Structure 1
């Protein structure tokens, strides 16, 4: 339960998860700086970004005491190892992969695997997942999250990812979301730190 409390501590500071898909190592620190300044302290670098392990390493070295840094789009055990060795403490997957959850938990990482059905959710919970990422969230909308929330254990945080923006945060919250994964509504490849800062402020204000 201790690590699960850790997840809630981070989400309590700010329930937004920044998904920096496409970010480069030479720009990732400047982008993260404006996110942390806006109060966003959970940052994920998807592995389909340029040299993502280098970005995770840079973020962990600079923000590891102030933010929960990790990687997303993780699909293999060796990727879990690489992220952990770079200093990443957060595992996010696009799919329901109990084996990856167990591998990450063995390394003391916080896990936020993806799911879409109750069967997937319970398999991930049994594997020790700290939080669950409803993905692709826009395919079901808040009504799907509300229905899932009714059957899943109340202490397991659910976070919609996909199509989440400042305009629909309230609807997701009403449906039972404990946090929100924000990709293009927060960062698109090539965005300047100033552009990201403006989007971050808008999302934090919408909370």
Structure 2
């Protein structure tokens, strides 16, 4: 089976912003603020009512320069609905080999969550574009480094409790990229005022700088 490549925007910037909210209605404004700061790979989790509508709106408003995917995908039905809504990639907190295979066969990158060597290898064999080390903070950069030693061919995406101040540590330990949620959003989704969104754009730039990513000015959506 041909493995889909890592999402180009993720491979280029090494940063994925995770948009998890109890109310998805504010996520398009949050997505725009992140894109203005240079973060162009966005995961919209399916834990909020209206998440797929928000995903479709973000995709339409920001265009192809920004990769928008669905997160917390647990079933084939959710995967099907997310792809129909325009998700460019799928993220899951678990290893479901059949879900990974079907997603890969559709040509869509899938990033399943794994923590042990066996889970990481199983996800990779099923066709994952990269494997999400989740929750990353449980073992920290040292755990990621230990996984990379016997499995250097498998790209690992560090997600779960990753603080902006620790991003460089995970990348130096061998992560291909990081996913950052609440430490980045800090409630901007609940109060998408101009002040909150401006601060979010500033944090997005700080995160990209920590990751050593391309200049936010060159990545921002015009």
**What TM-score do the two structures reach when normalised by structure 2?**
0.85
Bigger mean CA offset, 100-109 vs 39-48: 100-109
What is the DSSP-based 3-state SS (H/G/I as helix, E as strand, rest coil) of the residue aligned with 2:184? Answer: coil
Aligned twin of 1:204: 208
Mapping for residues 137-148 of structure 1, pairs under 5 Å: 137-148=136-147
CA deviations on 1:5-34 (whole Å, 9 max, x unpaired) are x43x32342111110000644322221112
Q: C-alpha separation between the residues in 1 aligned to 2:3 and 2:130? A: 13
Give the Cα–Cα distance (whole angstroms) in 2 for the partners of residues 191 and 150 of structure 1: 43
Distance in 2, matches of 1:132 and 1:22, equals 23
Q: Distance in 2 between matches of 1:64 and 1:175?
A: 33
Aligned residues of 1:80 and 1:103 also touching (Cα < 8 A): no
Of the three residues 169, 172, 190, the one matched with 1:171 is: 169
Inter-CA distance 81–2: structure 2 relative to 1 (3 Å threshold) = closer
- How far residue 64 of structure 1 moved from its aligned partner, in angstroms, is 4.0
Higher RCO structure, 1 or 2 (CA under 8 Å, sep 6+): 2
Indicate conservation of the 8 Å contact 1:185/1:199, yes or no. Answer: no
Structure 1 unpaired stretches of 5+: none
* Secondary structure of 1:129 counterpart: coil
Question: Can you give the 5+ residue segments of structure 2 that lack an aligned partner in the other structure?
Answer: 212-222
- Which residue in 2 is equivalent to 1:186? 184
| Contact 1:25 1:58 (C-alpha < 8 Å) held by counterparts | no
Q: Deviations over 1:112-162 (max 9, x none)?
A: 1100011111111111000111011111111100010111142x3211111
TM-score calculated relative to the size of structure 1:
0.91
